[in-house]
Chain A
Amino acid sequence: MAAVQGGMSDADIETDIKTEPSTDGFGNNNANDGRVLSASPGSGSSTGSNKQTAAVTPEDQQTLLAVLQFLKKNKLIESVEILRREAGLPENSLDPKATESAGAGSGGAAGIVDLEGGDVSSLLSRVTGSSSAGAQAPTKAVAEDQPDVRVVLSAYSQQGDPTLYEVYYSDLKKFIETVLDCHRAELSQVFYPLFVHMYLELVYNNHESEAKAFFEKFSGDQECYYEEDLRVLSGLTKKEHMRGNETLLDFRTSKFVLRISRDSYQLLKRHLQERQNNQIWNIIQEHLYIDIFDGMPRSKSQIDAMSGSLAGEAKREANKTKVYYGLLKEPEIELPLDDEDEEAENEEGKPKKKKPKKDSMGSKSKKQDPNAPSQNRIPLPELKDSDKLDKIMYMKEATKRIRLGSDNLPSVCFYTFLNAYQGLTAVDFTDDSSLIAGGFADSTVRVWSVTPKKLRKVKSAADLNLIDKESDDVLERIMDEKTASESKIMYGHSGPVYGISFSPDRNYLLSSSEDGTVRLWSLLTFTCLVAYKGHNYPVWDTQFSPYGYYFVSGGHDRVARLWATDHYQPLRIFSGHLADITCTRFHPNSNYVATGSSDRTIRVWDVLSGNCVRIFTGHKGPIHSLAFSPNGKFLASGATDGRVLLWDIGHGLMMGELKGHTDTIYSLRFSRDGEILASGSMDNTVRLWDVMKAFDDLETDDFTAATGHIHLQDNSQELLLGTYTTKSTPVIHLHFTRRNLLLAAGAFNP
C-alpha cells in the first residue's frame, strides 16, 4: 500500500496526449456514449487511464474490468452487459481478471474507482435508457451502498489502543518541535492529515470520548485555514455520521499529498521507526502521499502559499503535462471595401488606419505560436457571415482601444440592479457589451439591452410567411417591432439561477440553476430551446466556449461537464474535484477548461482527452471566480478568503498573490490587453491590479520554475492600482468592453 516514493504508484500518469489522434471524431455529432462514460472512471487525478479510442490499452482494460467487477457485485447485470459489449471485451474476461481488478484497489486508484462506482452506474443507467431521472448521484449512491462505505472505511478497522493515540500524536509533535528549524515547517505539514485520520479512526472504532478528547486537545494546533474542515469534523462523532459524509469520503479516498524534501522525510522516517510508532507510520503509508524532492527544504511561507486545499498540494507530476496555452490563429478576414463604405463618416481616415492594423494582426497570427494547439485540435464551428461581421466590428473597436497601464486606469461604469431584493445571483455581459443578462433567485432570467437598440422577438411563423425573403433587409424584417422593449424576462427554471452566459454570437443564452438543469435560450424568440439535464444537483456555473457551440457546466455533483449545444448529453465529464465545482471557465483557445471548487483547488482540464492537466492549490477557501488572461498564459482565481492568486498555466506555477479584498471575490476580469486585472468582491469594492508588473517581477526567476517552489513577495499594496467602493452593492460581475472600459454589475443591497 505504500505510495511514499515519488510518483511510483501510478505508472500511467503520464498519458501521452500527443499520440492521441486528434481526428478521432470528437466533434462528430453523434457523441460516442462509450467515450463519454469511459471518461468518468479515469477522472481521478492519479489515474490517467481514460483512453477513449476504440483500441483499449491494457490499463484501460484493467479499469474497465474493475468497473465491470463492481457492477457485477452490485447486480447491475444489464449495465455489465452493455459495458462489456461497448468495450468489446469477451464475456469470460471478467472472471480470470477479477482478482487483478480487486488488486487494483491497492493502487492509489482503488478508492477512486470505488467512489466513482456510483457515478459510473448512474451514467450507465442513463445510457441504458432508464434516463437521468433514476440515476443516483455519486455521493448518494455511495452513501446508500453500505458495502462500499465499508470498503472505503475498512482501512480504519485496524486499531491500536485508543488511549495511546494522544501519546502517539504528542510524541510526534514533540519530535517535530525539536527538529531543526529548516525541517520543522515541512514536517509540520504532516500534522493536519495525521490528526484527521487519527480522529476518524477513533470515531470509526466507536471510541467517542477518546475521539472528542483527542479533537479538543489537538484541533487548536492546526493551521487556521483548515478551520472549516475541522468544523465539519467536530460535528462528526459517531460511526453512523461517517456514512454519507462527503468531506470524510474525500479524505479517505484521496490521498493527502505532501511535498517534503528528502532530508526531512528521512528524518521523520527514522524517528518513527526508532519509536516503533506503527500507528502513525501506517497512516502515513496508507493515507498520505508524500512527494519527495531533492534539495533545500521549503520555508514556512512557501509551504503556506501552496497548502490549504482539501487534499494537500498537487503532485508535481500532476502539473507536468504540456498545455498548449497559446491562442489559435485568427481566421483571415478580408475587410470588404464596401463595408467601409457603409460608414461614410470618416472614410478617408479609415482605410489608412485599417491597413497597417490588419497587416500587423495578420503577421502576428501568421507565425504560429509554438504553444498554441493545432488549429483543429478541437473541431470548432465554422464562422458564419454574421460572425465575420462581428469580427470586423471587433477589430474596428480594437483600434480605438485605450491602452491601460498603472498610470492610465480604466473608467468604471457600474450597472446597479435596483429592487432586486437580494435576489440577483448571476450576471453576464455580451462581448460587445450591448446586452446584460441577470439570473435571479426567483428562477427568472432577464435580459436588458444597454444600447438604445431595443430587444425584439422574431415574428410568428404565420407572419414570417408573408415576408419577402429576397429582400436585403430580411433580417430586419423578421423582427416584430411590437415586441420591442428594453428588457425581457424568461421563465423556465424552477430554482435560483446561479450561472449565466451569453453565446459569442449573441443569439443564445445559457443559464444554470439549482434545479439541476442548464437551459439554452434563444435571444431571437426569447424562449427556452433546450434543457440539458445531467447534473441532477444544483449547477453552480456554466460558460460558453469563446468560439461558441461548446459549453461547460459544473455543480454540486463535483463533476464538470462539457456539452455541445446540439447534444442533449455531455461530451466530456471532468471528474476529480473533491467538492462542489463552483466556477467554470473556458480557455481563450477553447482547448482547455478551468474549474474552481470548494475543495479549494483549481483544475485545468483538456477538452480533447478529458484529462486533468493542472491542479493549482493555495487557496484557503472555496474558489468563486476564475479568469484567463487574454493571451491564454495566465489564470487568475479568487476565493472566499478574499485573495486573488495568479497562475502560470504553462509552468503550472503560482505567480503571485493579491491581497486586499476582505470578502469573497465573485468576479475577475483581465483587461483586453491583459495589463490590468479587475476584481469585484462582496466587500462592495472593485479593485484594479497591475498584473503586468506582477508577471514581470517573477518571470526573471528561472530557479523557481524548475523546482516549483515559489517565493511570493508580499507586494499586493504596490500592485493595487485603485479601490473603488460602491455604496452598498456587492460586485458580482465585471467586464471590459472592447475599448477597455470596465463595466461592473451588482445588486443594490440596502
Chain B
Amino acid sequence: MSAMAEERRQKHCSVVLPTESMKAMAESVGVGQLQEDSCVALSEEVSYRIKEIAQDALKFMHHGKRRKLTTSDIDNALKLKNVEPLYGFQSQEFIPFRFASGGGRELHFYEEKEVDLSDIINTPLPRVPLDVSLKAHWLSIEGMQPAIPENPPPATKEQQKVESTEPLKVVKPGQEEEGTIQGKGQGTTTPDGKGKEKGLIRLKPRSTHELSVEQQLYYKEITEACVGSCEAKRAEALQSIATDPGLYQMLPRFSTFISEGVRVNVVQNNLALLIYLMRMVKALMDNPTLYLEKYLHELIPAVVTCIVSKQLCLRPDVDNHWALRDFAARLMAQSCKTFSTTTNNIQSRITKTFTKSWLDDKTQWTTRYGCIAGLAELGPDVIKTLIIPRLAIEGARIKAVMEGPVISNIDKIGAEHVQSLLLKHCASVIAKLRSPPDNVEQYRTEYGYLGPMLCSHVMKARTQAALQAQQVNRTTLTITQPRPTLSVSQSGLSGSSGPRTPSIIKVPSSLTLMSPRPGTPSQPSPPATKYIVMATSAGAASTQQVITLSSSQSASPVTSTVPSATSTLQPLVKLEPGSGPGLTASRPLQKYIVVSLPSSASSSLETKSSVLPTSISSSSLDGGMKLERSESPGASTQSPH
C-alpha cells in the first residue's frame, strides 16, 4: 500500500462541498438566511448523494463502453434513484458552466444567454451528422499486422527512439542467425508480442526497412508529386507527409531523396526543385510521429546548403533565391530548437559555421545573406550577440558596394538584400535594447552606414509594438502569430516575424521553368557527371564548389559560375582545405569532405537501386528534369556560354 494511494483515499474521504455553496444555492431559490448548522448538515448530505450518483453514473459509462462520463450517464443515474433527470444538459463535449468571483465569493453558474430567434432562423442549418456506417479492414493477417492506414503506425516515436538509441548487444556468431529471424518475425508487432523464447539473447531487432509493394507505390507517388509540376498534388503530398503516421519505414528513403536531390539541384541551380525539397523537409519535421533524429546527418547539410550556397538559381539577379534562403534558415532554426541537445550540439555547430563564413571577407553576398539569415532566425539572443556587434563593419561593406563604382549588378542586389535583412532583424532587437529617444546621429556613430536606416526602422518597430500592445489591452487576448504555413509559395517564404504582407514572392511551379537555363536543357538524358566538393577553409573563396563534367556535348555552365573551381577533365575532385558548412564545422581540424557521385549518372542510379528497393531518386529526379527539359525550349534558345 503506497503512501500515495493512502493520501488519495484520504482525499476522497474529506471531500465535502463547501457550506458557502449551500448558502448560494439557498439564495438562488429564495431562502435568505440559512443557519450555519443546517448548511453543514446539508452540504454533507448533498456531497454524499452526489457521490452516490457519480458512482452510478460511472456504471453507465462502463456499460456504454466509454472512457468519458457524459451528461446522459448522470441522467440515467438520477433515473435509477427515481429522481427526475436534469433536462437540457445534452452537450456531449463541454460543461456549460461559467465561473465568476467577486465580493470574496466564487461561483459557478449556468449562463443563460438571451437568444434572438431571428438569428437562429437565419443562420444556415448545421451539417447533418453522418450516419453510422460499418467499415472492415484487416487488423492482422495470420499474426502479422498489415501496415495500412486503418492500423496504427507500426512503431511509435518512442519505439523508434528506443530502437535507434538502444545499444546493440553482443552476441555470439552462432546465435546471430536465430536472433535475426526472431527479430524479423517480430517485425511490425509490438515488442511484447513475442518475448517468449527463453534463453535467447534478445537482440536489438535489425530494422529491415523493407517496403511493401503498397509502400513502394506510395513512396513513388509522393516523391513524384513533391517535385512534380502540379501544385495541388504537391500540397496533397506534403500534407500526407506531414500527417501520415506510418511513414517511419520510408524515412531513410525520404532523407536520402532530399539530400541527393539538393546535391544535384544545387549544381543545376534549379531553384524550384530546391524549394520543393525544402518543403518536404518542413513536412517531415511537422509530422509528429516521426523520429527524425536518426536522419539529421543527411537533412541538415541539405538545408544548410540551401541557406548558404553561393548560387541557387540560374539568374541570381532576377530570381528570388533569397526567399529560399529565408525559408531554409527558418527550417534550420526550427530543427535547432527541436533537435539540439547537449550531445549533438547542433545549434552551436551551426552557429559557428555561419559565423565563420560570414566573417570571411571573400564570402559572396549570397552566402553572406544566408549566413546572416541563418543566424538571425536562431533568435534575438543570437542577433544581439553575433549580428549587432558587426553591424558597423557590414554597413561599411554594403556602402562600398552601393556607393562605390559599379562592379557588378549581382553584387549590388546582394548588398541590398543583406541590408534589408539586417535592418529587418536587428530593428526589433535594438528597439528592445535601447531606450526610446532614437537619435539618428547616435545610431550613425554606433552602427555606421546602416545607422540612419536602422534608426527609422527601430522607430517604426516601436510604434508597431505600441499598436500591438494597445490591441492586447483591448481584447485581453494574446495575439499569436500564425505559424508560417506549409506552402512555401505563400507566406512561408516571407520574412520571419512580425506581421507582413503575406507573400514576397509566389513560386509557382512554372517559375524556374520560365527562367532561362543556359546549356543544361540540351543535355542528353544521362546527365553530366557531377562532383560536389563541400569543403572550405578560412582562406578558400567558395563554400561550395561544383564541378560538372559533362560527358557529352554541353559545356558545363555551372563551373563557370564557380570561380574557384578547377574544372579539369580529370575525373576526381579538387580538395579544398577547411571546414565546410556542414556538420563538421565545429571541429577545429581541417577536414575535407568529398562528396562525389559516380562517374555516370546512370550507373549511380543503378547502384542506388541495388541498395534501395524502390527507384528512389531515379524516377522522380528524372521526372523533374524531364519536365524542365520539356518546358524550356524557349529558354534554351537563350545562348549558352
Contacts and interface: CB of A to CB of B under 8 A. Distances in A.
Interface string B1-21: 101011001101100000000
Contact of A725 (B92, B133, B152): B152
Given A234-B13, A418-B134, A727-B150, A722 B193 contact: yes
A537 to B, nearest CB: 7
Contacts of B65: 424-425, 666, 682, 730, 732, 747
Contacts of A582: 63
Contacts of A732: 65
B137 A725 contact: no
B377 to A, nearest CB: 35
A704 B48 CA distance: 45
Interface stretch (B140-148, B426-434, B631-639): B140-148
B67 interface: yes
Nearest to A407: B143
Interface string A401-429: 00000001111111111111111110000
Contacts of B5: 220, 224, 227
Contacts of B217: none
A632 interface: no
B281 to A, nearest CB: 27
Contacts of A140: 82
B72 to A, nearest CB: 7
A408 B140 CA distance: 12
Interface string A622-642: 101000000000000000100
Contacts of B379: none
Contact of B132 (A216, A219, A419): A419
B280 to A, nearest CB: 25
Interface stretch (B51-59, B174-182, B222-230, B442-450): B51-59
A446 interface: yes
A280 interface: no
Given A416-B136, A718-B196, A216 B13 contact: yes
Contact of B138 (A413, A424, A580): A413
A622 B92 contact: no
A720 B193 contact: yes
Contact of A419 (B13, B44, B129, B141): B129
Interface in B175-229: 189-190, 192-193, 195-196
B138 A411 contact: yes
B474 interface: no
Given A411-B142, A514-B76, A723 B193 contact: yes
A730 B70 CA distance: 17
Nearest to A220: B6
A417 B141 CA distance: 20
A335 interface: no
A627 B207 CA distance: 39
A415 B143 contact: no
A413 B137 contact: yes
A720 B137 contact: no
Contacts of A423: 132
B64 interface: yes
Contacts of B130: 418-419
A28 to B, nearest CB: 35
A176 B47 CA distance: 36
Contact of A722 (B10, B13, B131, B189): B189
A237 interface: yes
A622 B56 CA distance: 13
A419 B127 CA distance: 13
Contacts of A408: 142
B45 to A, nearest CB: 8
B135 interface: yes
B80 interface: yes
B140 A441 contact: no
B337 interface: no
A212 B145 contact: no
Given A722-B143, A725-B152, A730-B65, A219 B190 contact: no
Contacts of B92: 421-422
B64 A425 contact: yes
Interface in A524-553: 537-538, 540
Contact of A717 (B62, B76, B135, B192): B192
A182 to B, nearest CB: 22
A409 B142 contact: yes
A41 interface: no
A720 B143 CA distance: 12
A230 interface: yes
Contact of B135 (A216, A418, A725): A418
Interface string A435-448: 01010110000101
Contacts of A234: 9, 12-13
B193 A441 contact: no
Given A420-B132, A732-B65, A727 B1 contact: no
B139 interface: yes
Nearest to B198: A718
Given A230-B9, A540-B63, A722-B193, A409 B80 contact: no
A269 interface: no
Contacts of A215: 13
A496 interface: yes
B64 A441 contact: yes
A664 interface: yes
B66 interface: yes
Contact of A212 (B13, B55, B129, B189): B13
A245 B133 CA distance: 42
Given A215-B13, A422-B68, A664-B62, A411 B193 contact: no
A496 B13 CA distance: 32
A27 interface: no
A408 B141 CA distance: 11
Given A514-B76, A727-B150, A419 B192 contact: no
A231 B59 CA distance: 15
A219 B11 CA distance: 12
Contact of A421 (B129, B133, B137, B138): B129
Contact of B140 (A411, A416, A498, A514): A411
A724 interface: yes
A227 B195 CA distance: 33
B62 A222 contact: no
B151 interface: yes
Interface string B380-414: 00000000000000000000000000000000000
Contacts of B132: 417-420, 423-424, 438, 440, 446
A724 B63 contact: no
Interface in A198-254: 212, 215-216, 219-224, 227, 230-232, 234-238, 240-241, 245
A453 to B, nearest CB: 15
Best-surrounded residue of B67, B131, B134, B196 (most CB of chain A within 10 A): B134
Best-surrounded residue of B6, B64, B70, B92 (most CB of chain A within 10 A): B64
A720 B192 contact: yes
Contacts of B133: 417-419
B9 A409 contact: no
A227 to B, nearest CB: 7
Contacts of B6: 219-220
Nearest to A240: B45
Given A722-B140, A723-B190, A724-B140, A622 B135 contact: no
30 contacts: A216-B10, A220-B6, A224-B1, A231-B9, A234-B12, A235-B51, A235-B52, A240-B45, A241-B48, A412-B139, A413-B139, A414-B138, A415-B135, A416-B136, A416-B137, A418-B132, A418-B133, A419-B131, A436-B134, A448-B134, A450-B136, A496-B64, A496-B76, A718-B196, A722-B140, A722-B189, A724-B189, A725-B151, A726-B151, A730-B65
Shortest 7 CB-CB distances between A and B: which pairs?
A: A409-B143, A220-B6, A234-B13, A412-B139, A414-B139, A412-B140, A419-B130
Given A496-B60, A723-B189, 16 more contacts: A220-B6, A222-B1, A235-B13, A235-B47, A238-B44, A409-B143, A412-B139, A417-B132, A419-B129, A438-B132, A496-B76, A498-B64, A538-B60, A640-B62, A666-B65, A722-B189
